[in-house]
Structure 1
Amino acid sequence: DTLIEQDFEGASLHSGSFFDMPNPLNADTAPSWGLEPGMTYRSDDRLRMWAGFLWGDDSNMLHATDHLVASFDDPQAGVGLDVVGYVGTVRFFHGPLVRGSIDLDGQTTFIGWIDEIAGITHVEADGSVVTDNWAWGRTADSCAADLNADTILDIFDVIQFLAFLEAGHPFADWNDDTVVDVFDVLAYLADFESGCS
């Protein structure tokens, strides 16, 4: 594993300017920005780069105008990020489960969360939020079928899956075909039976 830092400095912007970015944003949707692979950013509204002067340095920062979600291709043992003037709560998830949250008062500059057991699959912040540097890169030894992230495969994981299935929750789409059906049940039970290494 290698520590990865995403600093959004892939292009030069005039200080004070905004530049609309693809939504979702990742190394594939914006190849000229030099984004690191393995992470995707999205917003319920818009994603923009904002060029400004931050902590004694010219910097490009990512601005989500409503509800930022940053997701990882693989669960991460730890995640850190710079937050710029944000008042609200940043939540760290493993699948649908909140593994930790940090309330911010507008003065906080760097936050992070470590979850070496389940791993962090995505980070969310509601409202308008500006972030700068993100750090990640150490994959957690997690098990997808362990839905309650307690490191034990048991009946409670099956019950959690069935609750997702009954609610039509996206996490019940176990085979990623965009349809929640009996084939997801079969795929989940096969993963459950395979166990965790």
Structure 2
Amino acid sequence: MDAPEPDTPFAAVSAQTTKYGRMFQSQLDRSTPFVTYRWISTGVVFFLFIIRIIYAQGWYIVAYSLGIYLLNLFLAFISPKFDPSLEQDEGMEDGTAGGLPTKEDQEFKPFVRRLPEFKFWYSTTKAITIAFVCSWFQMFDLPVFWPVLVVYWLILFVLTMRRQIQHMIKYRYVPFTVGKMRYPGSSGK
């Protein structure tokens, strides 16, 4: 298929779409350093979605689907990019599967997320926005008994997080850092 002629309506629409796409990407790039403000805005959109679901008393399947998707995103966010259990299975029995070295001849491998923070935020915000928009269309309001969905989601959350925490403990990695590390015996200056 050849490129569209410059004077066709398709070319004009394509040019406008590309222009708006670049403008949108530029705004995303400019928002990158403002982590707190980005998450606050996502929290506001999520709060509006929850208020919409409670007020309308419907669209529970949309909320449940959003919850499952956000749980999957969160798991990818707290999981290492290179799974130490897979590296250990591939013959790396010397313990260099990641994290802090335990022996003198091991190399330090920092924690690298499977899903970086910015992509986690962007995917979360996009999913919440799509769910919010879906909550305004009657065709997405499927009749379900919502307490069953809540209980099922809570069970899924507890079991999944228990497994993930056991994985973190077994392979000794922590996906979160709070403040500057202090080591015993250092002056801290």
Superposition TM-score, scaled by structure 1 size: 0.23
So what's the TM-score if we normalise by structure 2?
0.24
Tell which structure's C-alpha radius of gyration is larger: 2
**Which protein is richer in strand relative to its size?**
1
Structure with larger RCO (C-alpha < 8 A, sep 6+): 2
